[in-house]
Structure 1
Amino acid sequence: MDHPRPVPFVYQGSPMKSVFLPAMLAAIAATPVPALADGGTARSMVKPARLIEFTGERELLKESARLRVWRGEIGYTLEVDAAGTPTECELVDRFRMNYVNVKLCDVLMKHHSFEPALDATGSAVDGSYEGRLNFMEMREKE
């Protein structure tokens, strides 16, 4: 008995893709795009928040030792309001115990000062700041 040769399987996508693709393209086309001056992008038109100073190295070292944080460095993002005051904090690598995240963010927010972000007209706007602190470098300064 002769068996037919197997036909190689080639995935050609879901038949539902052809139904949803035109709807998705129409939705994207209908999305309003903000007007940009001089052909720039929205992000390029904002000067980010600028760090004036961080005065909390000693406090961060004490708090991290108390909480038994044994990392080499800590990355974070601070949201900064139009007055240059940090309003929110998020650690890049969060700790399993949320109270550790909260305590470290409290120190970071309390001891950072900024010049606010500026829009294309030079007006102060909300912005953000991304930073990274190395514990070894901070310990060497003491």
Structure 2
Amino acid sequence: MTTVLAPVEGAAVGLAAVPDPVFSAGLVGPGTAIDPLRGPGKAVAPIAGKIMKLHPHAYVIVGDDGKGVLVHLGIDTVQLKGRGFRLLAAEGDRVSAGQPVVAWDPAAVEAGGRSPVCPVVALDATNGAVTGLAEGAVHVGDELFRWD
């Protein structure tokens, strides 16, 4: 079993609250989303593993068991072309759970007319494999869900 930790502080709101049909319908995979606190912060690794993909607005970490977790910092943030994001790690790096990966400011994302809500998704997981979804307030490093 893999325990996925909250990469940002805020409120766990569920994927249905994500203003993007691909995420809200679970097409990327099961998981949840966090409506982040507004203000500068750091998004951390939700699991220990290797950073397989790293963009300023999103990253995928794959654990030693082969399970990959996607963290997407806001919706439509790819359009920002990296503005407002600062990489704190590199693609290919091995990270421990809780290690900072990207510095960003959800308030700036929102001020630019985009949702700062952060989907956290278990890639290629089957329905029912993700349990124990957190609800309400979460702090960085709190258990967000379990992946059997």
* Structure possessing the higher relative contact order (Cα contacts under 8 Å, 6 or more residues apart): 2
Which structure shows the higher helix fraction? 1
- Structure 1 length as normaliser, TM-score? 0.23
- Say which structure is richer in strand: 2
Per the normalisation by structure 2, the TM-score is 0.22
